[in-house]
Structure 1
Amino acid sequence: MTLQGYVHAWEHYKDELQLLDKKLELLYKRRQRLTPDPQTDSFRGMFVSEDEFLRLIGRFRIEEEGEDEQEAREVIGQLEAEIAFRREASSKSGVFLPLTYLSSVFGLSLIEERFVMLGLAVELDRKYERIFGFLLDDLTCKMPNISLALQVACQSPEEMRAARMTFMAPEGKLARYFLNQDAPEVAGQTLLSKLLQLDKRMITFLLDSGELDPKLKPAVEIVYPDSELPPLLVQEDFQLRLRNFIEEIFEAPLHERKRLAFHIWGHAGAGKKLQVQHLCRSFKKPLLLVNLADVQLHAARFEESISVILREAILHQAVLCFTRLEVLYPAEPDLAAQQRLARFHELLDGYGGLVFLLAERHNRLSWKPKERLLLEHELTVPDEGGRERLWLTFAQELGLGADVDYRVMSGKFRFTPGQIRRALTLARGYSAWQQEPAKDNAPVLRSDALYKACYQQVQHKLERKATRIEPRYGWGDVILPPEQKDQLRNACNQVKYRGVVYSQWGFEKKLAYGKGLSMLFAGPPGTGKTMSAQVVAGDLQLELYKVDLSQVISKYIGETEKNLHEIFEEAQMSNAVLFFDETDALFGKRSEVKDSHDKYANIETAYLLQKMEEYQGITVLATNLLNNIDEAFLRRINYVIKYPFPDSEYREKIWQSMFPPSAPLSDDVDFKYLAQRYEIAGGNIKNVVLSSAFLAAETGEPIRMGHIIKSIRHELQKSGKILARQEWEDF
């Protein structure tokens, strides 16, 4: 009969069990030569007889094997040769045999493979439970122990001594990957008496399925090379460089080939995982994604989890990718965190496959890998031209019809590809919720819904040192001379059309930094500086944060710079408008250095200049005293807008604009008289109007001139000015 390869795994297991039966039969015959028939001894296993004692100490020894034992050995040798031939034939024909596969990917020796098959036998046929119980003199024991395994698998004392090391080394392949680590330790139990019990995951793989280990979910997922992937729209050059480099390493001779690890970082949605997925698809390799934020960080559980994950990567011959690496690098690491990280690195050193470490921020890795090349790369936010292409592409994919200028959106929001896609998806839902009618069966994208979705993509902690201001004023509310108003509009246009200038016209290549927008509003109190900041933020539909100077300035050296760094770092994520009021208190003239206080005050001013130039968003500074601002500071600001004290013409417009249309105004209110008679700024006028409204509400009357004059009197008293009696008695 001509031998052929196996058709499936169960046919292979059938031959392996037949071979095991012959080995167990040989073991029984050996024992039978040395001990009487166990069936005649009803107390067997309950005491040690004199004959057994003499046999154990070597007084009774039979050196030669009987004919039946020699015959059994010949049958065993023949069966082993046939199984080896059929396994080789199966491999050539592409038939998947789990035991052969595991032996290959884990590099098991022939003895180790026999141990695995011995542990699997009880899962294939329950008869082995009774057989092992019989051979161990304990029917309550349903699995072989290490002593029995050595007797069955090994053919000589030398082979048995070498095989013992397989179980003695805790870092060995069997102990680490195949044997059950949860088996309870028994007091006084020797190594040879320990049970040979396979891990449940390995049993599942050998018997049934190559699916991902369920207990690893949700921290781990597997992506197969035939999975559908979105295209790479940015950073294609990095993907090509990555592929070429890995191909060059893999094509090198085996003795020159290096193991590789890559540390890639970038903001959420930058495409880190997508880059690795495309790489794996090009090499036709599965990808094992591990979210470290979902892995238990408790020392014992963490080490066990990482070991199981490494085994799973070997099982699937997958590229191993850890995400959220920053959780292993806390800002203030304690001893437990340091030990956990060190153990993580040790486990990775023992893994031979390709490793990717992904993070949202750069981590100064303490890993010094052995025999592995560790490379680093940052996936930066796409430039404005790239962001515009992403907005247009994703909007088209989602079937969105919109009157949105995506060129403007790309200039306002420094979003990663993932953030852009999520913003559009969320905005489509908001627009549908608001029941906007569709055109040509395409959902119409509302501008307000899109901006709302954009703000939800940004997560920052600016509220700790700044206060968010909801913009409530428009261009019609701010009363300024044409020159100042034109400057404000020009500043807004610099944000709206930065994509054209920086990307399309190529100015971005000429500027290493300083691509943000900085403005200084200078003028007396109440002239509209804060209102103008709201107008700018409202026109650009950006968030406005007023920086609380009390949370920024510190008497401790270096703390002010640290606070400023945190503010600009958080704002960079959202492109928010930062509004510093009363900035002359913080950013005054740099003084001559006479002592350490002058020295560090100048450092703080210089540091702010640096951060403002690096910031790509909008910075608005307000001051009442322009002369107190350093000239070098002014040179680096894009727009310096001087707010004049309003004359009577502009005061009249301010008075008129302050009263809402629904407010009841008496006919005796004379705005021209108020503007000409009382020289007060817009902020004071606002206080007067609001106070007079409450006075009128109290009396149940329309707002009269008397209410306004009375409020003016109170307002002037705050600054120490007194209104003459004849000026207010008539009212």
Structure 2
Amino acid sequence: MPFNCSFPFRGASIKLNMITVRQRKGRPSRLRKRDIREKREETGAGRAYSHVWEHYADELRLLDLKLQRLYVRRGQTASDPQADAFRGMYVSEDEFMRMVGGRDGGAEDDPELAALAADIRNAEAVIASRKAESAKRNVFLPLVYLSAVFGLDEIEQSVVMLLLAVELDRKYERVFGFMADDLTVRLPNVGLALQVVCRDADAMRTARLAFAPNGKLARYLLAREDGGEPFGRSLLSKPLALDRRMATFLLDTGAPDETLRPAVTIHYPDEPLAPLVVHLDAQRQLASVASTRNGPVGVLLWGPPGSGKTLQLRHCCAGWGKSLLVADMRVFAEDGAGFAEKLSRIVREAVLHQAALALAHADALFPEEADAKSRERLRIVEEETDRFPLPLFVLTESRAKPDFRSGGRIWLERELAVPGEKERESLWRTFASAAGLPDGEDWSGPAVKYRFTPGQIRDAVADAVALAEWEGKPAAAVVDQACYRQIRHRLERKAVRIEPRYGWDDIVLPDEQKELLRNACAQMKYRSLVYGEWGFERKLAYGKGLSMLYAGPPGTGKTMSAQVIARELRMELYKIDLSQVISKYIGETEKNLHELFLEAHKSSAILFFDETDALFGKRSEVKDAHDKYANIETAYLLQKMEEYEGISILATNLLNNIDEAFLRRIQYVIKFPFPDAEYREKIWRATFPRETPLAEDVDFRWLAGKYEIAGGNIKNVVLSAAFLAAEKGVAVGMREIVQAVRHELQKSGKIISRTDWEDY
């Protein structure tokens, strides 16, 4: 529940009856019974507290009575009162005999002690009555709430109030120093606390258990000493103080522990929530956790960032009427010796707010390959959450399950995968509508291209709105730019990004090849319709991506075609350097391919594997172990291509080297023929930009018929001729073009006859 308590008298002093210590006729003075009676009449038994300070005033009056009782007990066996000037500085003979002779403590049948005992019982009854009435009227009392959530008994609650007294009135610093026989002392110790809150010696012996190291006081409420226990100090002499967070809670505010910020966030059940659009079945499963009565429940929830893990839990907890405390474990994972202390504070904060606890980004705690440090962290997590009574959620990106075994907690697990295309389209529409974008916009395109989580789609829509306002364009025109802002991957380590510059008008291919390329683009554009509305997704367990093979001699347009598709679909294109992927060490190639496709899944990019001849070979021509293993690598590559839901393209110069069994696993096999004279002429004309000055003697038909070179060579020739003309300060003419052709052919060892170029 949210801490929403107002303290109308915060900062005001509370006037309480003071314990006066005077010397009168050789004995300490007592509070006058008339004063006690007057204070009792002022309490108004049976009346609800109007505010927390009124409650604390009653508790301090009760504490004063208990301190008075202790003082009277000690005074009955006091030695020479003149020696009180040296109190705590030495032990007299009489005091020694009192301590070892069993005469310490005072007579319980003393009339004054009996009267004080009656006053204490009356004060306790008044407080109990007023607390009960306050509960009926929903008056929030922090001390009562604290006692309830941590399950404190009467003794533990009295100890907390004893320690809180120092925070409420500094007079108690002097009182505790006097009671401890040491005026330099400002805090009570265990022995003094037991003497004050317990009625007799038997109760004191039982109450010692409250200060055990694994008790509630030590675990949650008491300040911890730095540097360990001093040598030679008894438990009774151990000083006590409230933990600063607990004192703050009791006196000031319910805001989360400042030492845990910003890694800890508390979500309250009455906060507004974004609607759930996907994974509604997961919400039903999580809601069932509340009805589990077989013991503490733990839920492992895994999925990529932005998949909605926290939102699911917030909806779930709101349904229970519970708060949710989310702790980012990345902040604490490397905290070393402080990890246990921080986790203990996190668990305490969850108990304090009666909130379910979610350990977010727990992958940082439990790596795939466990080491001594991670095993120690696991032990600490088990130990600190062992007695946590509310649901515990562990949020990770992968399914790597922590091996929790202790505490008898029932563990359940659920994946929040990337939504399907229809669900993604629904998310795009929902977030776009919430952002005020036009309702008629078609969001199937980005839903198909980008395998985004709900969080990524939400952020992409927000970025698209901001970019549209900044650039003065419609949101639909900048949605791809906004989408790529959400993508975080490391493809650049093993691939080179190519900016797609070519369109359909730039590529010169026979109609058959162009039609295949357009069909491939259509398969990506209409995936949502075919796989979603037409039901083909149910028929395909995998292989919903697009795999293509470009086969043809060098320079025939394979790389250009990949750019055309990337530009048509407005997708990123990455060219894979196989030299960075293929390894001579067994298993290393597969590892590199696995990492490559893992990053590709994050990017939704087109993967273009150029010059794959080194990887392919005839399976029937296995001559040694190397050939056999090469086939294994090829099979693994094709497997990853089938699993990949984006576009993957293989380019080869030697189609005949590829086994037919491999070809059957590729959706589109497009053969790029060496261009004939007709297509070479088209390539010559298309390669020159419109702005290039051409001389009147340029004869593209003659060039196409005379030189049998591929489109890639023609591109090199055109560029070289342009620079030759620029150097001379003339338009590009046949002399520059033929000279550039001669240089291009010489690169491949070809020589043209003098008659072919001497005119130029």
Give the TM-score category using the shorter length: over 0.9
Q: Is the Cα contact below 8 Å between 2:333 and 2:365 reproduced in 1?
A: no
Q: Is the Cα contact below 8 Å between 1:402 and 1:446 reproduced in 2?
A: no
Q: Which residue of 2 aligns with 1:417?
A: 454
SS of alignment partner, residue 377 of structure 1 = strand
| 1:563 pairs with 2:599 | no
Please list the CA deviations of residues 217-243 of structure 1 after superposition, one character each: whole Å capped at 9, or x if unmatched. Answer: 100111111101111111112212321
Q: Report the TM-score when normalising by structure 2.
A: 0.91
Counterpart of 2:394 (choices 345, 349, 357) is 357
Change (3 A) 1:38 1:479: farther
Tell me by how many angstroms 1:40 deviates.
5.0
Q: Which residue of 2 aligns with 1:439?
A: none
Q: Which residue of 1 aligns with 2:126?
A: 82
**2-structure distance, mates of 1:143, 1:62:** 22
SS of alignment partner, residue 512 of structure 1 = coil
| 1:445 pairs with 2:475 | yes
Unaligned runs of 5+ in 2: 1-43
Taking the TM superposition and a 5 Å limit, the aligned residue runs for 1:35-54 are: 35-36=78-79, 38=81, 41-54=84-97
Q: Which residue of 1 aligns with 2:285?
A: 241
Taking the TM superposition and a 5 Å limit, the aligned residue runs for 1:107-186 are: 107-167=151-211, 169-182=212-225, 186=230
Taking the TM superposition and a 5 Å limit, the aligned residue runs for 1:222-233 are: 222-233=266-277
Tell me by how many angstroms 1:9 deviates.
2.2
**1-structure distance, mates of 2:314, 2:188:** 43
The residue identity in structure 1 corresponding to 2:707 is: Y
Instruction: Give the aligned CA root-mean-square deviation in angstroms.
Output: 1.8
| 1:299 pairs with 2:336 | yes
SS of alignment partner, residue 543 of structure 2 = coil
Counterpart of 2:698 (choices 666, 669, 680) is 669
The residue identity in structure 1 corresponding to 2:430 is: T
Q: Is the Cα contact below 8 Å between 1:401 and 1:445 reproduced in 2?
A: no
Change (3 A) 1:589 1:41: same
Q: Is the Cα contact below 8 Å between 2:502 and 2:564 reproduced in 1?
A: yes
Tell me by how many angstroms 1:597 deviates.
2.7
Q: Report the TM-score when normalising by structure 1.
A: 0.95
Q: Is the Cα contact below 8 Å between 2:257 and 2:349 reproduced in 1?
A: yes
**1-structure distance, mates of 2:102, 2:322:** 60
The residue identity in structure 2 corresponding to 1:4 is: R
Bigger Cα displacement from structure 2, 229-238 vs 480-489 = 229-238
Counterpart of 1:588 (choices 602, 611, 617) is 617
**1-structure distance, mates of 2:560, 2:755:** 35
SS of alignment partner, residue 248 of structure 1 = coil
Change (3 A) 1:595 1:676: closer
Tell me by how many angstroms 1:403 deviates.
8.0
Tell me by how many angstroms 1:59 deviates.
6.7
**1-structure distance, mates of 2:81, 2:569:** 93
Change (3 A) 1:59 1:182: closer
**2-structure distance, mates of 1:418, 1:546:** 29
SS of alignment partner, residue 467 of structure 1 = strand
Taking the TM superposition and a 5 Å limit, the aligned residue runs for 1:355-434 are: 355-401=392-438, 405-434=442-471
**2-structure distance, mates of 1:350, 1:297:** 24
Q: Which residue of 2 aligns with 1:496?
A: 525
**2-structure distance, mates of 1:611, 1:147:** 70
Bigger Cα displacement from structure 2, 116-125 vs 293-302 = 293-302
Counterpart of 2:351 (choices 307, 314, 317) is 314
Please list the CA deviations of residues 211-268 of structure 1 after superposition, one character each: whole Å capped at 9, or x if unmatched. Answer: 222222100111111101111111112212321x22431xx4xxxx321111111112
**2-structure distance, mates of 1:90, 1:384:** 55
Q: Which residue of 2 aligns with 1:730?
A: 759
**1-structure distance, mates of 2:736, 2:105:** 124
The residue identity in structure 2 corresponding to 1:238 is: A
Tell me by how many angstroms 1:6 deviates.
2.6
Tell me by how many angstroms 1:203 deviates.
0.9
SS of alignment partner, residue 347 of structure 2 = helix
Counterpart of 1:532 (choices 561, 565, 582) is 561
Q: Is the Cα contact below 8 Å between 1:218 and 1:294 reproduced in 2?
A: no
Tell me by how many angstroms 1:369 deviates.
4.0
The residue identity in structure 1 corresponding to 2:749 is: G
Q: Is the Cα contact below 8 Å between 1:38 and 1:44 reproduced in 2?
A: no
Q: Which residue of 1 aligns with 2:539?
A: 510
Q: Is the Cα contact below 8 Å between 2:45 and 2:127 reproduced in 1?
A: no
Bigger Cα displacement from structure 2, 270-279 vs 54-63 = 54-63
Q: Is the Cα contact below 8 Å between 1:403 and 1:445 reproduced in 2?
A: no
**2-structure distance, mates of 1:480, 1:405:** 32
| 1:640 pairs with 2:654 | no
Q: Is the Cα contact below 8 Å between 1:591 and 1:598 reproduced in 2?
A: no
Taking the TM superposition and a 5 Å limit, the aligned residue runs for 1:197-276 are: 197-243=241-287, 245-249=288-292, 252=293, 257-276=294-313
The residue identity in structure 2 corresponding to 1:223 is: H
**1-structure distance, mates of 2:598, 2:104:** 82
SS of alignment partner, residue 301 of structure 2 = strand
Taking the TM superposition and a 5 Å limit, the aligned residue runs for 1:471-486 are: 471-486=500-515
**1-structure distance, mates of 2:579, 2:249:** 62
SS of alignment partner, residue 41 of structure 1 = helix
Please list the CA deviations of residues 255-282 of structure 1 after superposition, one character each: whole Å capped at 9, or x if unmatched. Answer: xx32111111111211111111111111
Q: Which residue of 2 aligns with 1:686?
A: 715
**1-structure distance, mates of 2:658, 2:622:** 17
Change (3 A) 1:2 1:159: closer
Q: Which residue of 2 aligns with 1:67?
A: 111
Q: Is the Cα contact below 8 Å between 1:491 and 1:517 reproduced in 2?
A: yes
Q: Is the Cα contact below 8 Å between 1:225 and 1:286 reproduced in 2?
A: yes
Q: Is the Cα contact below 8 Å between 1:402 and 1:445 reproduced in 2?
A: no
Tell me by how many angstroms 1:111 deviates.
1.1
What number of residue pairs does the alignment pair up?
715
Tell me by how many angstroms 1:720 deviates.
1.6
Unaligned runs of 5+ in 1: 437-443
The residue identity in structure 1 corresponding to 2:527 is: R
Counterpart of 2:50 (choices 7, 11, 32) is 7
Tell me by how many angstroms 1:103 deviates.
1.2
